Amino acid sequence: MTKDELESKKFASLFQSVKKIKLIPWKGQASIGVSIFKNYPTKGSYIPVKNRQGKNDSVICINIFFPQSETKNKTMKVILKISAFKSSHYLWKYHWYDFNNKNCPSELAVNKSQQSKQPINIEENFRYEYNLKTHKIFDLETNKFVTANEIVNSIYKIHIKTITNKIFKLKINAIGRLVEFIDPINNLLKNINHYCFGKSFKKTNNLDDYFLGIYETYKKEDLIDLSVTSEKPTILGSDFPITYQSATTFFVLTLVIFSINYWYKYDLMGFVGLANEASKNSLFLASLVTVSLIITDRVIPHFLVSIMNILIRLRIYLTFRHKIKIK
């Protein structure tokens, strides 16, 4: 028996006493964990699908695991990843319902269940710490050791709560929708930096950076120019080189500001007035141009990264504090 197989066996043994329908230890996967199946309450707003023998086909599947790679952790401590979601005995074996199959629940039972209030998938990713040496689990939220049974019961109750508590369910749904908007917004900001300012994030094959931009914020040095300094143009007599994309953006913005002033007599941020004053003094003009270029090529791109980091932190807070699962 390999070290990972032995670790998997020890981990699964922690959950043997948990009240359940079935426990499946994970084998031959990149993670060490277990899948625990429990019944939904017989009375409640959610109606589980029943098979043709009258037994529950719909069950709660609770996955508790950690990556195998973390067994090499020198601290001998890993964070458990936990999820609870609606599952099905039949769909565990088959791709979808085949009502002609005698093992399949009836169409009436499936429709009846789908018309009832539905539970929400739940995740708990940063609360429990598992000690590989002592095989004990520590609750980082309450600062005390807990049993496997307590963990399963806790996530089970939260999952059930999403059915019965309307306010809680609405809150989780709203937060989930909000989190789903974060990636499109961050991708838009990335594209703005790329196409308007010639900036991109440096690529890395380091596995430690896998969650960079997802659950880890960017650092200042992660943002790089698409062109080397020697290829950057200098414009309007300034010695400050900028990317071609930033130069284009600078000219377009300048044109827009002067056009607005010409057509609508509105001086956006007083830029036209400053330009008129600067035209009377060469030193003032050079300073104004240089500062404008720095803002365009340096300040704005890093400001966009700051917004992205705020959204990443918001995702971390909403995802892990409120235990939602992102689809």
**173 vs 194: which has the higher pLDDT:** 194
Contact 84, 156 (CB under 8 A): yes
Contact 186, 193 (CB under 8 A): no
- In a domain? residue 171: no
- The mean predicted confidence, pLDDT, of the chain is 85
**235 vs 188: which has the higher pLDDT:** 188
- In a domain? residue 190: yes
Q: Does residue 203 share a domain with residue 140?
A: no
Q: How far apart are CA 21 and CA 36, in angstroms?
A: 8
Q: Does residue 134 share a domain with residue 221?
A: no
Tokens of 199: 């900036």
Contact 101, 68 (CB under 8 A): no
Q: Does residue 198 share a domain with residue 86?
A: no
When pLDDT is averaged across residues 18-26 and rounded to a whole number, the result is 87
Q: Does residue 135 share a domain with residue 188?
A: no
Among 81, 83, 87, 82, smallest CA distance to 40 is for 87
Predicted confidence at residue 228, as pLDDT, reads: 66
| 68 Cβ contact list (under 8 Å, min separation 6) | 4, 29, 30, 31, 32
- Structural domains counted in the chain: 2
Q: Of 96, 130, 164, which closes a domain?
A: 164
Contact 138, 107 (CB under 8 A): no
- Reduce the DSSP state of residue 77 to 3 states and report it: strand
When pLDDT is averaged across residues 190-216 and rounded to a whole number, the result is 80
The dihedral sign for the CA sequence 167, 170, 174, 176: positive
- In a domain? residue 111: yes
Domain of 193, in residue numbers: 183-321
- Residues of 128-144 as b/e, b for ≥16 C-beta within 10 angstroms? bbbebeeeebbeeeeee
| 104 Cβ contact list (under 8 Å, min separation 6) | 51, 52, 90, 94, 97, 98
- In a domain? residue 178: no
**202 vs 250: which has the higher pLDDT:** 250
Predicted confidence at residue 285, as pLDDT, reads: 82
Q: Does residue 262 share a domain with residue 228?
A: yes
Contact 81, 29 (CB under 8 A): no
Predicted confidence at residue 172, as pLDDT, reads: 67
**217 vs 320: which has the higher pLDDT:** 217
Predicted confidence at residue 71, as pLDDT, reads: 75
Q: Does residue 213 share a domain with residue 134?
A: no
- In a domain? residue 197: yes
Q: How far apart are CA 41 and CA 120, in angstroms?
A: 15
Helices 182-197 and 244-264, packing angle to 10 deg: 90
Predicted confidence at residue 117, as pLDDT, reads: 86
Count of other CB atoms within 10 angstroms of residue 231:
11
Q: What angle do CA 89, 95, 96 make, to 5 degrees?
A: 80
Tokens of 43: 């009375």
- Residue 142 is given by DSSP the state T
Predicted confidence at residue 243, as pLDDT, reads: 86
Q: Does residue 123 share a domain with residue 55?
A: yes
The 10s digit of each residue's pLDDT in 255-283 is 999 999 999 999 988 888 888 888 888 88
Predicted confidence at residue 324, as pLDDT, reads: 44
Predicted confidence at residue 155, as pLDDT, reads: 92
- In a domain? residue 175: no
Tokens of 281: 């003094």
Q: Of 164, 193, 212, which closes a domain?
A: 164
Among 17, 30, 91, smallest CA distance to 65 is for 30
Q: Does residue 110 share a domain with residue 44?
A: yes
Predicted confidence at residue 60, as pLDDT, reads: 93
What percent of the chain has a predicted confidence (pLDDT) above 90? 36
Q: Is the pLDDT of residue 245 over 60?
A: yes
Q: Does residue 126 share a domain with residue 9?
A: yes
The 10s digit of each residue's pLDDT in 69-89 is 877 766 788 989 999 999 998
Q: Does residue 188 share a domain with residue 314?
A: yes
Q: Does residue 64 share a domain with residue 30?
A: yes
- In a domain? residue 68: yes
Burial class (CB in 10 A: 0-12, 13-18, 19+), 88: buried
E strand or H helix at 130, and its extent? strand 128-131
Among 316, 279, 31, smallest CA distance to 182 is for 316
How many residues are there in the chain?
A: 327
E strand or H helix at 302, and its extent? helix 300-316
Predicted confidence at residue 283, as pLDDT, reads: 85
Which amino acid makes up residue 96?
W
Predicted confidence at residue 295, as pLDDT, reads: 92
Predicted confidence at residue 327, as pLDDT, reads: 40
Q: Does residue 189 share a domain with residue 151?
A: no
pTM over 0.85: no
**209 vs 162: which has the higher pLDDT:** 162
- In a domain? residue 209: yes
The 10s digit of each residue's pLDDT in 102-152 is 889 999 999 999 898 888 888 888 889 999 889 999 998 889 999 999 999
Least confident of 22-26, 55-59, 166-170: 166-170
Which amino acid makes up residue 205?
N
